Structure 1
């Protein structure tokens, strides 16, 4: 089954407590599980950066849900492409708190060619490569962490 992925950055709409973010992510986990979508959400308190992957119809359903969500605004799609494999197979969704500088650095990377980088093409320092390097230590199990590190090399 072909897989695709979307990455975007957006601004948090209003105050967002950790408890509220946990509730949003729990809801996303349920929805994404049914849609066959996996991914990661980074939040610095004022901005989100999210990457999600899965079958075309599942990614489309999640993307539509993202566009309708009231928890954020000023959504800017960084990339949307086919991917050769899942890079977050263990997470229907997981959020990680980050510093604002990380979201800025990741969103400034080359996301247009992120699928090429995964396939071995785009230059080092792309947004996807930086995301994989940041998330690798948070993945469950040594094998999963090594898989992500290898994909980013």
Structure 2
């Protein structure tokens, strides 16, 4: 959940650099004021931003619960997650996993919205 795409440091633009990749998974709770149209707008903006910065992953929303997996260069994903933690559209942001990866599990997905069960199935089978 990107609060302000321009708030990330300039080094995020260094897409061509070779940085170690990580997978970061978190859950959060949406505030009641967040509407379905807000989520659709967020996914569209995030897909554009993430594509430009070498980030892939998936976002699942089930009622007011959110689960997101972000994959990409460690410094870029870390900066993005810091922005996510300060996003006022949700609260109780809890990181579930942060680990190095050799290959993206979502490379062909880009950044998409899926049902929560799809994320669980993908995680258990990959």
1:56 is the counterpart of 2:46: no
3-state SS of paired residue (2:111): coil
Runs of 4+ in 1 over 3 A off after TM superposition: none
Equivalent residue for 2:32, pick from 5, 14, 17: 14
CA contact (8 A) 1:32 1:93 kept: yes
Larger radius of gyration: 1
Equivalent position of 1:79 in the other structure:
97
**Cα RMSD over matched residues?**
2.2
CA distance in 2, matches of 1:24, 1:66: 12
TM-score if structure 1 supplies the norm length?
0.62
Which fold has the larger relative contact order, with Cα–Cα distance below 8 Å and residues 6 or more apart in sequence?
Answer: 2
CA contact (8 A) 1:32 1:62 kept: no
* Deviation of the 1:31 alpha carbon: 1.9
* Deviation of the 1:133 alpha carbon: 5.3
3-state SS of paired residue (1:29): helix
Residues 8 and 86 (structure 1 numbering): CA distance in 2 closer, same or farther, change over 3 Å?
same
CA distance in 1, matches of 2:33, 2:115: 15
3-state SS of paired residue (1:89): coil
TM-score if structure 2 supplies the norm length?
0.74
Residues 79 and 131 (structure 1 numbering): CA distance in 2 closer, same or farther, change over 3 Å?
farther
Structure 2 gap segments, 5+ residues each: 1-17
CA contact (8 A) 1:35 1:59 kept: no
**Number of residue pairs matched?**
108
Residues 131 and 67 (structure 1 numbering): CA distance in 2 closer, same or farther, change over 3 Å?
farther
1:25 is the counterpart of 2:30: no
